Amino acid sequence: MALWKEQVAPKRDSALLTPDPIVRRDDPTPVDAAPSYETRRPIPSREAKESVIGSDITIEGKIDGTGHIRIAGRFKGDVNVEGNLTIEQGAKLTGGVKANAVVIAGELEGNILDALRVELQESGVMNGDLKAGTFTVAAGSRMRGRVEFGWQDGNHRTLPNGENGADL
159, amino acid identity: L
pLDDT for the residue 74: 97
Residue 34 gets which letter from DSSP?
P
pLDDT for the residue 95: 98
CA R_g for the chain: 29
pLDDT for the residue 160: 43
pLDDT for the residue 167: 38
pLDDT for the residue 152: 66
Full domain range(s) for residue 76: 50-166
pLDDT for the residue 122: 97
The answer to the question of residue 5 being in a domain is no
- Nearest CA to 91 out of 109, 115, 64, 113 is that of 109
* Mean pLDDT, the chain cut into blocks of 10 residues (168 residues total): 56 50 50 40 55 93 95 97 96 97 98 95 97 96 96 51 44
Domain count of the chain? 1
The answer to the question of residue 1 being in a domain is no
